[in-house]
Each structure stands twice: as structure tokens, then as C-alpha cells.
Homo-oligomer: A and B are copies of this chain.
């Protein structure tokens, strides 16, 4: 097919005895060129296996037809799906993806932002570590459209897509209540992000609407860790430990709403070890609907997050922002769906008298 050096417009121009310019126009489909010439050029380009040099093109155009994608951790199934969704939609519009993994580190995040800047990306899609806004303000400041995913940085006023975490947690909690739970506990990661605040708010709202108390100790933090172990079952493990402590309490909750489905796994194990049955002794509601959750026993009731949709929406918002930079940045919350499975019913938790 091809070997050796890459051919350039100039090569083609030389062999065809045309100007570089003509060849460029012929190939780029612009008009103002003879049909014959165009065919000729196309044929020659085909023959030598011409591959345009994006670098050169981008340099003159000032932008690289590339999106930066900054993600905290691909081993989180939500982000894995997100990557797929974004990649698909971006590629459909002709953009490549420059990927950076921050692992919740502000330092890595800052470097990633800088790197995107150097690379003249056409835009950035970011799951911010959420702590520093500077790196992203800077990026936006020099005119790189940026959309935030999952965790908003309201100060920036950038476009944003996320799932409605408050709603998700509300649904989860309300469902547990409807199934007879009166005392409910929440397990969340200990990250200082709006995601988690929102969920806790949703939980509280559901409890309040049902006139149920939320005593101290109803919201439990699960410590998390950094990248090196991200690959490992660190999250279930940590949740397991926290759950074991929880199960030593004198009064156990009827239901536990957890921050992600990995936590549900850890909780399952702790409950199993204590000989407690799900949902009979305790209901469990997950968050995320990871690929395995449907297949656990008992299968896990969980809040399904539309990761693909979040991803493709992010790309759409970015394209909007690129096409009309002065348009009002849109913020979009995508509603999650509660998926009801065995872990919340139909059994009635023991603290309630059977109703039927």
C-alpha cells in the first residue's frame, strides 16, 4: 500500500505538475476547480496513499478537531460507559479524543488542563476533581469551550450535564419507604463533590416527606483511595468495612441506600456474614446500575444512570458552544431511573408489621 515516508500535497503537486494550492483544493472538496483536475488529483492521492497531515492543518486553522476528555477513573463503570458514549458521538462529528485520567488528584488535573491547552483542543469535556476551578477557568479564558460532566462548578458558568442525583437518591429512599422501611441509612464516598451533597439532600427530602427522622449517623462516609488501587475492588472492600461497623449498632436500619453499586457489594458481604437476609432483614438500594448488579443474588434495586446519554449530551453541548460561543451555556440534568429488583422486595423488613 504505502511504505517509507508520508506523501504530502507537494509531492502530489510535483508529480502532477500542479500547484500545492490546487491539489489542496481538489482534495478538500472546495469548488473553483476543474472536474478533470480534481479527478486527476484524487486518483494520484489514492495511488500514493496520501494521508493529510492534521498537525499542519490544525496549526493554520488554530484548532485541532480534537476534544480533551478528562476523567477521574475509567474503572468506574459509569465513566467507562461515558467514555464510550463520548467517543462515539465525538467521532461521528469528526473529532478525536485526547484522554486524561486524573484519579481525583488536583495536581494531575491541573497538568491535564495545561496539556489540553498546549494541544489546542477544540473543546474539553471534563469530570472535574472539584476543588479547584482555576485550571478550567483558564482553559475557558483562552477560548476553549468546556463542558462539565457530573459535577458542576457553578462559579464557572460553563455548560453542564449530569444526572439528577438528588432525584435519584429521592427515588431510592422513597422506594424503600414505600416498601416499608422507616429507618434508613446512606453510605456515600467521602469526596467533597456536589454529586454527593445532592444525593444526601434527596435522601433527606424523601425522609422529610414521609415524616421520618434522620438521626445522627444516618449518613455514613466511606473512605476512598487514589488511583493505584482504583483497579482493585477497593470500593466494595471499604464499604464492607464500614458496613461491618454499621452492623454492630444496637438498632439496625431497615434499608441502606448506597452511593454506588460497588458499595452494595461490600454491604452484601457484611450482611451475609452476619446471617442477615436481603431484603428480609435489610433492604439495599444501589446507585449506578453497574453491569453486574442485575445478576447479584439478590439482584440489586438501584438507580440507573444514563451514562451513554450523559456522554452524548456532553458532546452536543460542546458542539453548541463551539458553533455559537455566545449562546447561554445550558445546564442539563438527566433523570435517572429507579430499577426495582429483589433487594428491596417483596419481603417486608422485620421492623414493620406485615400489612397484608
Contacts and interface: CB of A to CB of B under 8 A. Distances in A.
Contacts of A64: 55
A36 to B, nearest CB: 27
A84 B76 CA distance: 11
A84 B227 contact: yes
A264 to B, nearest CB: 9
A54 interface: yes
Interface string A61-100: 0001010010001110100110111011001000011111
B101 A88 contact: yes
A243 B13 CA distance: 62
Interface stretch (A117-125, A146-154, A208-216): A117-125
A236 B295 CA distance: 7
A233 B75 contact: no
B141 A3 contact: yes
A291 interface: yes
Contacts of A98: 66, 96-99
11 contacts: A1-B134, A54-B119, A73-B84, A83-B83, A91-B100, A97-B100, A99-B99, A232-B291, A240-B295, A262-B291, A272-B297
Given A52-B118, A55-B120, A80-B80, 13 more contacts: A1-B134, A5-B143, A66-B98, A77-B77, A84-B230, A84-B231, A96-B98, A97-B100, A99-B99, A232-B291, A233-B292, A233-B295, A262-B291
